[in-house]
Structure 1
Amino acid sequence: MRFLRAALRAAPVACAIAGWWLATPGAGAQEAQSNQAEPTWEINARDQDIRQFITQVSQITGRPFVIDPRIKGTVTVVSNTELDRAAVYELLLSVLRVHGFGAYAVGEVVHVVQNPTLVKQTGGGDDGLSGARQAMVTQVIAAQNVAASELVKILRPIIPQYGHIAAVANPNVVILSDHADNIERLMRIVAEIDVANEEEFVVRPLTYAWVASVVAILEKVAPEQLGETGPGPQVVQVIANERNNSLILRGKSRPVAVIMDLVDKLDVPATSTDAAQVIRLAHAQAGNVVDILNGLFTADGSEEGQHISIQPDESLNAIVARADPGTMAEILDLVGMLDVRRTQVLIEAAIAEIAVDDLFTLGVELAGADQRGQSVPAFNTTLNGIVNALLAGAVPDGATAVDGVGLVTSTTTPGIAVAKVDPDGISFGAVLNALATNVAADLLSAPSVLTLDNEEAKNLVGQNVPFRSGSFTTTADGISNPFSTVQRQDIGITLTVTPHIHDGSSVRLEVLLTVENLVDSGLTGGGGLEAADLITQKREIDTTVLADDGQTIVLGGLIQDDIRESLRKVPLLGDVPAVGRLFRSNRETRAKRNLLVFLRPTVLRSEADVRVTTDRLYNRIREFQLEARPEQADREPDDLYEGRGSG
């Protein structure tokens, strides 16, 4: 049920419309009737037709209203306050604004329209009801301290849809279009924002804390208040002066004071007073770790790096470091990750030479000598070892012939030999040689070496041989003194390998294998070969391969094909056709050699793996030893270090 109550202090007037308002005299209304005071209304409406609501306001204010025919709807107003005519008119304007409508005055007539953007100031009459405050006005606001574009960002959310705001960079002004009352409110907001930025600079030396660490903490604690620039007055610019370990703060007094209070709490003595520490290493080398740490902390030459010192102690395999507590903690973490037990790799190699030698020797050797004291034989074709032995008396005294079969079996060169020993001492011998040989294979070496991952290992089995590197002659007192310079070189089998473990199971091997041996140069002097004139034969494999843990691989073969022919004969007689074969010997050698290298890497990740591998290799040696000396079957590997390995 809607009610209308109206109370007039001058004379009561019944102006009720059924069901809408209930008007009653306000407080002190009985006394106001005699004084003809301004009447008041207490308005309450529920789901009232908006046109009826406008009609009643027209009756109260005494102003005519022109209502747009599109104005429709209902309104609800709840109030316990008594309103005069001006307040009732303001209430109507608020109701219209809430429902998306608007009103503007043209003289005494108030126009109610549907589109609030049509509401504008017309300079209409002044009836004391504040119609001008609801008129649309345009205001230009000059900003003195804040950029106009920043003001637009702040004010746009509080301007209604029908309002307008724009920024002009030069001359830094804001243009507003809105109701007059809202323009006044916006101008008050701008006045509070557009104030001078009164900043101060503060230099805060630090006594205990490192300036870079303090700045890092401040950025985490108050990220929105720190920075070189910021959107609001609470931003403080913090600059770290590492040269003298001080902070430079720039900003307004209050936020600077807050940051200073936080800095005071951070610049206190550290819990640990140890500025230097000695870090013992269990596995890594101190020099290598120090090189890495210096590259990380001091290589850039920064002020902070000048306060850090890291040195190795090779005798203790330790690191001596001095730094601020934060950096020291980082150093300790890095050392812990670097000082780990490294995986080892056992590389076992087998170097085999497969050779096929075709040797063919064919010839006849004749010789004779007088054993009665004459040292010069009557004739001899080649002075073969067999004939020499024959002529030297390798037959029993008194024998008149030599058994050819017995002679062949007692020599290394197969053939047929006969001889005649005269009682007077004249000896005669003849040998027919026919030889063919074939050699199969030979295991040159089976070296093995244990090394760390990514570390080079070298195994050499051979001789250190002198080679002539130069010669010169000095003269003193007319006497020439020749001198020769000699340089020594390792000759033999050299295995150099560097393992790299990948993904825990495969091993990449960088292998350099050299097989070098001496070759007979044919030069003799003194008691044999001239060492400085030696000739070497060298075969080499330089490669990189990938093998799985425990897998045997072959690196490849080095094939050598050697053909040699030689002829031994008696001058002139050996060249006689047909008969000359009795006075010459032919030798032809064909040699093919293939050098094969087999490798087997074994990854040893723990002490148990090393122990098992050591026992396996030791047992292999023991098998050879027990074949010769079975009484040492109870020996253990540790006995080798206690002097009982060969007892």
Structure 2
Amino acid sequence: MFAALAAGSLLVSPVAMAQMDTPAQQRHRINLDDVELTDLIEDVSIVTGYTFIVHPQVRGRVTVTSQTALTTDEVFDVFLATLRVHQFVAIPSGDRTYRIVPEATASSSAGIQSRGPNGDSFVTQIVQLNYFSAVEAAQMLNPILNPSGQVVANRNSNTLVIVDYASNMPRLREVVRQLDEDGTTIETIALQNVPAQEMETVLNGLHDEFALNFTAVASDTTNSIILRGEEHAVARALTVARELDASERVRDNIRVLPLSNAKAEEIVPVLERLSAAIAQQNGAGEGSGVAPTISFHEATNSLVLSAEYEMLNQLERVVQELDVRRPQVMVEALVVEMSDNAVNELGLQFVVSGTGNDIPFASTNFSRSAPNILALTGALVSEGGLTGSGSNTFQSAAISSLLGLEGLTLGGGGMSGDTLFGVILNAVENDVESNILSTPMLMAVDNETSSIIVGQEIPVTTGEVLSDSNSNAFRTIERQNVGVQLDVTPQIGEGDSVRLSIYQEASNIADAVSTSGEFITNKRSIETTVIADDGEIIVLGGLIEQTSAVSASQVPFLGDLPGVGRLFQSEGVTNSRTNLMVFIRPTVVRDSEDVRMTTSQRYRYIRAQELMSTGAEASNIDRFVQDVLGTVPPAQ
């Protein structure tokens, strides 16, 4: 590449270079058009005799053109400038050796030099300060550093370690020299009423406006100002600072802070404890200052604060951090219950009776069998001779027994002479399957308990008092919720994980215990605390239950007879199976966009269910939202 000018490279080749006296006497003309940067590095190494250690990230294509011949030193200057344009730097690393690295990493690896070999190289210099603080000097140098440069102050040795382009080093050293001049004075003033940051801004404004040679630095931890500069300038600044701090004592020490998100009554206890701690630290309770008072106005949800000026500022900053919009959690529960009950019954009943004054009688009657053979026999007898209310009673009992009949019933009976007889065979197979699905859901604010109940209230007797004469009797009744209930307290953690304290209940009326209105309720509840990720479905718990019961009734001895024993037996078999599972899914809702998205999803679902059930083309829900609420339905 370092060939003839016509080849588009440097004018002098490596062979020609070797024939000249010294590299400094050689002159070269550069004409490079879109060549690899690594090729340029290799050729400059040949021309200058320097050794380059190239970082793996040093890549790119460059174009360099010179109309006049350049010395070897000038070629090296152009080379460094080209590197800088492409955000690379050459860092001295020993005798005639340079490391070429990306500019972003140069500050951590620049070599230490008493002065930079070239303006475009990256160097490190250590500067000892005798009078001025190295920490303060570092703060003042940062604004004039190259973006890739760095300055580090060593408090113990009061030295500065400066890493920057060599071209910027003279400017930095001159600033340090002026700062480190003797003859300055330092004063510190503790402020009682004005925040240190505000006072720093005011005093430095005086510095600029009246050309006073001093510097003001605020110390927030002690609420004080450090002044450094010429004696008369520092004295003038001290006078101004004291006057401003004293004038703030007469300022209004009451503030009203309306809250947008938090509840004022919940913030008050926090501020009371905080103000007490601040007052104790500042010694406000030792006889001076305004005792802090914190109250709230419920109607406007505002805080009313009365305290010293500085404490008011501190309390207001705390309120601003607390009065933020808290995220919410949409909690969706899924309760699935699948049950299967199967009942098989088989029974045989018979009756044989005579007539007359002395009536021989024989019968089998089992509680599981229907209809009741004795009730039917009574009706048959009443037809044969009973009249009046007795006949009606027997007939009503027979009808009631027949109305409760299930399954297959075969039977017969009659009278033959003085003998009354009857027989009934009853067989029942009953299979009941049920699937119960409930999906309660609710939106809850972070760290707030929310609850939803869907069901009804039923009366439950809790006490009853009867007197001997049945007078002044009374019964105490309590209302009990029956249905689906979900109570949840979410707490959003790191990475949108959600800690959920949950109580979930599903209950329903099973049957009446008595005619007095007492009920049996089936109740499934779960109370637990779980942790789930945003949008993750987890199982809270469940129950898998399977029961089997066999009941048999028979006539003693006769039921055990071989062959004919089944005629004197009644048997029932009951099998039941229940599968219950409870699932939960939390979804974090952080802003109004998340709220709109969640609302639209739920609205679309309920709207689709309505259209599916009615078969209509237009939704009544849309019409209700438009006509009654006077707004546009959520996005479809």
Q: Please tell me the TM-score bracket, short chain as reference.
A: 0.3 to 0.5
Larger Rg: 1
Higher helix share: 2
Superposition TM-score, scaled by structure 1 size:
0.47
